[in-house]
């Protein structure tokens, strides 16, 4: 029996308020309007950005359905949608690509105007597609993948290889692409260079992989959890340091490891202001580049000495690894299928959707790299 054009009742993990576990509820998912696509989610990763909402670091409107790193299959499409059809295997895109806005038209731009970085909690048309007993539930990042079905704008979904395993390639929807691209696209790491990666979670390890793929000769992993070091070395880190082992600041430690020069490229993949400035201070004072990859807390500000950048350093941000999503995601999936990079080492836990809170606990305790929920 076709569900096209009808409201679908399904399970979703609803965040009702900050610092409370998610609750699995039966929600109603509206059919797609013109230029919208309804997707049956097959797998969704648990990303630190989702947890930033639950901790209160990232401010959003509640109640909300989180999740933005997923793979699924198109259930139905609204009027005028030509990019995908029912049955297509797809990845939803929290960083859409409409192809029409000034950013999409710029060769370096990838922050499309259709995205919801400001956390408005609604779709481009100003509505949310989810209700619970008549109450509106907000959308997260235009994707809301912690649900059996979700609705996205056509600019926020792309067709991928039908044979790709959803429980692995879902990481290309956020974590892997964000880290890998930060090294390759945003920093443009060069062969023979020295890199430092602050934070060795899923995105940090993907950054390490990007540095290695770009030909860096030294990749220094930095984390206060030494349990992350063996995996980091497996993924390409040449050495790892724990800031807690030193009395002096980590930037001085890194200068000491590089004959007083500093690293060529540093990456902050945590989302803390103190580590952002430490990463900046760790790169070469003249030609060093430091990239902010971690999502900063909503209410935070940074104080730093302008001398740090006056000498020539470059400090920049990176969203979704600098990739133009619709163009890059299918290629990255094909590269994965062709064995160009591995995703398995990043996925430490695979859990049924109902165990979503366990996935967040594993993340907070530092026991997991990526937990993937399967539906």
CB count within 10 Å of CB 34 equals 11
Contacts 24+ apart (CB under 8 A), 250-257: 250/198, 250/222, 250/278, 250/282, 251/278, 251/279, 251/281, 251/282, 254/196, 254/220, 254/222, 254/282, 255/282, 257/220
Tokens 């259709």 belong to 114
Sheet of strand 194-198: strand arrangement: 239-241, 218-222, 194-198, 265-268, 289-292, 314-317
Q: Find the length of the chain.
A: 375
Q: Which residues contact 305 (CB under 8 A, 6 or more apart)?
A: none
To the nearest 10 degrees (0 to 180), the angle between helices 48-55 and 356-365 is 90
Which has the closest alpha carbon to 71: 49, 98, 53, 93?
A: 93
Q: Which residues contact 282 (CB under 8 A, 6 or more apart)?
A: 196, 250, 251, 254, 255, 262, 263, 266, 288, 290
314 vs 216: CA distance, rounded Å = 18
Phi, psi dihedral angles at 103 (to 5 degrees): -70, -45
Angle at 153 between CA 77 and CA 67, to 5 degrees: 105
Which has the closest alpha carbon to 283: 303, 265, 306, 259?
A: 265
Tokens at 225, concatenated: 């959890």
158 vs 183: CA distance, rounded Å = 23
Please give the C-alpha separations between residue 20 and each of 13, 14, 51, 164, 180, in angstroms, as whole numbers: 12, 10, 11, 34, 32
- Catalytic residue numbers read 47, 49, 52, 68, 174
Instruction: Say whether 293 sits in a helix, a strand or coil.
Output: coil
Contact between residue 129 and residue 31 where contact means Cβ atoms under 8 Å apart = no
Peptide bond connecting 50 to the previous residue in cis, omega within 30 degrees of 0: no
């Amino acid at each position: 029996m076709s569900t096209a054009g009808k409201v679908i009742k399904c399970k979703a993990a609803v965040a009702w308020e900050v610092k409370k576990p998610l609750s699995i509820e039966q929600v109603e998912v509206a059919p797609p309007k013109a230029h919208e696509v309804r997707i049956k989610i097959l797998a969704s990763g648990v990303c630190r950005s989702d947890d930033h909402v639950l901790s209160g670091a990232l401010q959003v409107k509640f109640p909300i359905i989180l999740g933005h790193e997923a793979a699924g299959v198109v259930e139905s499409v609204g009027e005028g949608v030509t990019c995908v059809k029912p049955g297509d295997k797809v990845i939803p895109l929290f960083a859409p690509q409409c192809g029409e806005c000034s950013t999409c038209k710029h060769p370096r731009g990838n922050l499309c105007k259709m995205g919801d970085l400001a956390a408005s909690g609604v779709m481009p048309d100003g509505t949310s597609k989810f209700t619970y007993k008549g109450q509106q539930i907000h959308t997260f990042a235009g994707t809301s993948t912690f649900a059996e079905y979700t609705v996205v704008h056509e600019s926020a979904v792309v067709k991928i290889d039908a044979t790709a395993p959803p429980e692995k390639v879902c990481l290309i929807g956020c974590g892997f692409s964000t880290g890998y691209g930060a090294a390759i696209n945003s920093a443009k790491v060069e062969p023979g260079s020295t890199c430092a990666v602050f934070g060795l979670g899923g995105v940090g390890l993907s950054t390490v992989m990007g540095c290695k793929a770009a030909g860096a000769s030294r990749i220094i992993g930095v984390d206060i959890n030494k349990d992350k070091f063996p995996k980091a070395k497996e993924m390409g880190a040449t050495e790892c340091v724990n800031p807690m082992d030193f009395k002096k600041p980590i930037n001085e430690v890194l200068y000491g490891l590089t004959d007083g020069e500093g690293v060529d490229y540093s990456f902050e993949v945590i989302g803390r202001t103190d580590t952002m400035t430490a990463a900046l201070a760790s790169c070469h004072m003249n030609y060093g580049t430091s990239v902010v990859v971690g999502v900063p807390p909503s209410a935070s500000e940074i104080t730093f000495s302008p001398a740090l950048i006056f000498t020539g350093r470059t400090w920049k941000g990176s969203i979704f690894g600098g990739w133009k999503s619709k163009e890059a995601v299918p290629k990255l999936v094909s590269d994965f299928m062709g064995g160009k990079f591995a995703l398995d080492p990043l996925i430490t836990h695979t859990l049924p959707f109902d165990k979503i809170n366990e996935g967040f606990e594993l993340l907070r305790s530092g026991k997991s790299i990526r937990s993937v929920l399967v539906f």
